[in-house]
Every structure is written in C-alpha cells, then in structure tokens.
Structure 1
Amino acid sequence: MSLLKQIFTWWNGQTIGTRFHTWRFGTKVGQDEFGNVYYQGGGKDSEGRTRRWVIYNGYADASAIPPGWHGWMHHRTDVSPADESYKAREWEKAHRANPTGTSQAYRPPGSLAATGERPRVTGDYDAWTPGN
C-alpha cells in the first residue's frame, strides 16, 4: 500500500518523483523537531539559487515548517538551523501548526460552526443605499 500511496498521492510524505530526485541529487541538510527532513541540490531554480526542498513527516503541510527552516527554505539565509546554534528568545512562542479545518480552528461568535447561540442584533446598523 505504501508504494501505491507514493504513486497516487502527493500529500502523504513524498512521491516517487521526489524520492528519485532526492536519491539522485539531494544532499541532506538537516532535520527539524517534527521529523521533517530538509535537502538541497539538483541544479538551480529560476533565480539561479540552489534548489531546496523538504520531505514532510506525515501530511504535506507548509505550516509544519518551523520559522528557522522556513527562512532557510526561502533563501533568506544560507546557514541552515542545523549548522547554527540558534537559541529562541524568551518572547518567541513555540511553533504551532495551522489549525484551519480542525476542531482547534478559531470560530468567532456568530459563526455557523461555533457552538452556542448567535448574538442578537442590536439595531445600531443602517444598511447603505445608493443616493443617500
């Protein structure tokens, strides 16, 4: 089943094409605390920079890339987080995956997906009409 997943799905880790490209051209740069593995190599991108990619641990979700690795992936820095001794400052929050589409997503009052009752209309709103 794993081979079929790799052939027919792109959201479950890596596809056959990505596996081949990684095996043939990729140089492992490092791994983050979530198990995502980062590579570079295999030529240049459209702007002449070395290609960089990630093999996700699980579903392919770009919000699962921590801030340090995000900067490296987008060529904001040439030094990967694996090669530097990065210490988070006390005001920095820990990385949190994007909760959109999950039970942890934000649902404001009045939303159809929110629990409870919708707030009552107060009558302090007048709709705009042309010519007024």
Structure 2
Amino acid sequence: MASLLKRLVTWWDGQSVGTQLFTKRFGNEVGRDEAGNIYYRNADDTRRWVIYEGQNDGTRVGPEWYGWLHHTFPKPPTEDPIARKSWEKPHKENLTGTEAAFYRPGSLRRADVRPQEDYEAWTPE
C-alpha cells in the first residue's frame, strides 16, 4: 500500500501510476539500453518516451537513444544502429554530487587531500 501511495505522488524514482497506465494503453516497446532503461513510442510515432531503471535522470540516456527520443533519428538504435568511431568513449551519466565525481588535483573535496597547517591562527588575548 505504501509503495502504491508513493507512486501516486512521486515521479523522480521510477514511473508514476499515470505513466504506467499511459504506457500500458498506448505504448509499444521499442528497445532497452545497457542501463536497463526501456524505450516506448505510440502507434503513430508522434510520442516517444523512456521508463528509467532506478532514478529518473536524463543523463542516463545514451546519445543514440537521445537522438531517437528527440526525433533526430527516424529509426531507433535497435533497427538502425549508429556506427561508433574508434576514438569515442562510452557514454557515462553525470556523476556530479556523487562520490565518483571529478575533482581537480588539490581540491579540498578530494579525499586524498588534506589542508596544510602552515599558519598559526590568531586568537584574541
């Protein structure tokens, strides 16, 4: 009961009940990506959407699926795969705010850097 109530009022952690009903009624599954996201379209291909595996975060969609979702590519990557260049790196979601985020060398946010105690703080007498 608690999970149903949570899905009725939240959208950021998986699909809501409204999205689930719309998908069940009008959605045709097109494919899945390596992250587990499921992609859908309606019968006349005017609407395209994704159901995320886990939290909803647009950076978890790879470039080939992003192009299909925004009608840049007419066919999904399952029907017409995009040729990858040898120098292209694999897609990575945005890691800002996580422990895997990038911090420049010397940043105080890095776990391996400690501030230097090269001064003596003034204290009033």
If the length of structure 1 is used for normalisation, what is the TM-score? Answer: 0.75
Aligned to 1:103: 99
1: distance between equivalents of 2:30 and 2:80? 12
Query: Where does 1:48-87 land on structure 2 (aligned, <5 Å)?
Result: 50-87=46-83
Aligned to 2:20: 19
Q: Deviations over 1:38-67 (max 9, x none)?
A: 011277xxxxx7111100001101111011
Q: Which of 86, 107, 114 is residue 116 of structure 1 equivalent to? A: 114
Gaps of 5+ in 2: 119-125
Superposed CA RMSD: 2.3
* Alignment check: 8 A CA contact 1:39 1:53 kept: yes
Identity across matched positions, percent = 46
Cα offset, 1:11, TM superposition: 1.3
Cα offset, 1:109, TM superposition: 4.9
Q: 1:109 to 1:38 in 2, by over 3 A?
A: same
